Amino acid sequence: MLAADLLVAQNIGFGIIALLMIVGALRVVTVNNVVHAALWLVVVLSGAAAQYLLLSAEFVAITQVLVYVGAVMVLFLFGTMLTRARIGAENDLNNKNWKIAIPVSLLMLGVMSWVIVDGFQDEKLIENPGEMSQVPIQLISDDIFGPYLLPFWALSFVLLVAVIGAIVLARKD
């Protein structure tokens, strides 16, 4: 009984957050103002963090908030500020062939959702939602520093190169 109530609550939460995310994502790609698009992107990214919490991935959710909502968004706002003389609505944010993108993405959505619905039908994510416990961070660190150590090193070098590259590219000569 308790598990069923939990399931209903989870599904309602999922629906509300998913709706918010989809509306936010649509606004990101349709709005005529770069700063507004960045703020709508905050809605989508925070919604994604909430979905990660529903999937019991606390550590990834917190990292999402710290890195995306915190750091990446500040980068975007700085990028907007440094490349735009005027902050406000503009009419030339779209390509001249932007209408072709609508059928392309709709076709892709159709194929993908057909495959997903056909492949997973009504398969439960987890049989008993009461059993869904949080992922211990110790397991994640064992994973990172165990079988996935080499990608972790590669990732460290990627970040180092990205930092150096960004400084070199953006430096005034």
Partner 1 sequence: MLTAQFLLLGAVLFCIGVYGVLARKNAVMVLMSIELILNSVNLNLLAFSVRHGSVDGNTFALYIIAIAAAEVGVGLAMVLLIYRNRRTIALDDLSEMKG
One-letter amino acid of 77: L
Cα separation, 82 vs 78, in Å, equals 6
Work out which of 3, 4, 5, 63 binds partner 1, going by CB under 8 A: 63
- Residue identified by tokens 């009419």 is 91
Q: What is the DSSP string of 25-51?
A: HHHHHH-S-HHHHHHHHHHHHHHHHHH
One-letter amino acid of 51: Q
For partner 1, the binding residues in 87-126 under the rule CB under 8 A are 92-96, 98, 100-102, 104-106, 108-109, 112-113, 116-117, 120-126
Measured from the CB atom, is 1 or 33 closer to partner 1?
33
Size of the site for partner 1 (CB under 8 A): 85
Measured from the CB atom, is 5 or 125 closer to partner 1?
125
For partner 1, the binding residues in 16-55 under the rule CB under 8 A are 18, 21-22, 25-26, 28-29, 34, 37-38, 41, 44-45, 48, 51-52, 54-55
Cα separation, 4 vs 10, in Å, equals 10
Would you call 107 exposed, middle or buried from its count of C-beta atoms within 10 A (0-12, 13-18, 19+)? exposed
Residue 23 and residue 47 in contact, taking contact as beta carbons nearer than 8 Å? no
HSE-up (13 A, CA, CB side) for residue 58: 8
For partner 1, the binding residues in 125-164 under the rule CB under 8 A are 125-126, 129, 132, 135, 139-140, 143-144, 148, 151-152, 155, 158-159, 161-163
Measured from the CB atom, is 5 or 117 closer to partner 1?
117
Q: How far is the CB of 157 from partner 1 (least distance, A)?
A: 10
For partner 1, the binding residues in 64-83 under the rule CB under 8 A are 64, 67-68, 71-72, 75-76, 78-80, 82-83
Residue 41 and residue 24 in contact, taking contact as beta carbons nearer than 8 Å? yes
Work out which of 60, 87, 89, 150 binds partner 1, going by CB under 8 A: 60
